Amino acid sequence: MPNQPGTMIEWGNRWARAIKHRQENNEAVSGFFSQIGELYVVHHLWAYESLQSRDETRNSAWQKEGWDTNVYYTVPLVRSMESRLMIPTKSSPLQ
């Protein structure tokens, strides 16, 4: 995510405020950022029951006061984004 020198702290502070808007459905699984190799690459994992659930949850975040403000301030700090769909294995606690 940020991957722009000097922006990780600003992005992280905003993200810490924004994440409360996404806790209702417990979809946030984990978040990581790198300080070795390619610096300040952020990975965050979300769990949804279905693609429809994902769409509904993401859309409901926009109805919460403050989400739009945090997106407004964090998007300019992002150099690139990717999205991937992962299916948990049978032994995963996310089943």
Structure tokens at 95: 């089943």
| Structural domains of the chain, count | 1
* Single-letter residue type at 10: E
> What residue numbers bound the domain in which 58 lies?
8-77
Check residue 52 and give its pLDDT. 93
User: Residues 2-58: pLDDT tens digits?
Assistant: 556 667 888 888 888 888 777 776 777 788 888 888 877 888 888 888 899 889 988
Model confidence, pTM: 0.70
Is 64 within the bounds of a domain? yes
* Single-letter residue type at 37: G
Q: Supply the CATH number for residue 13's domain.
A: 3.30.70.100
Are 47 and 93 spatial neighbours (Cβ–Cβ below 8 Å)?
no
Nearest Cα neighbor of 58 from 84, 11, 68, 2 is 68
Is 87 within the bounds of a domain? no
The Cα 14–Cα 7 span in angstroms is 11
CA 83, 49, 56, 69 dihedral sign is negative
Is 51 within the bounds of a domain? yes
Is 2 within the bounds of a domain? no
Check residue 2 and give its pLDDT. 52
User: Residues 45-91: pLDDT tens digits?
Assistant: 888 888 998 899 889 889 888 889 988 988 888 888 889 988 889 99
Is 88 within the bounds of a domain? no
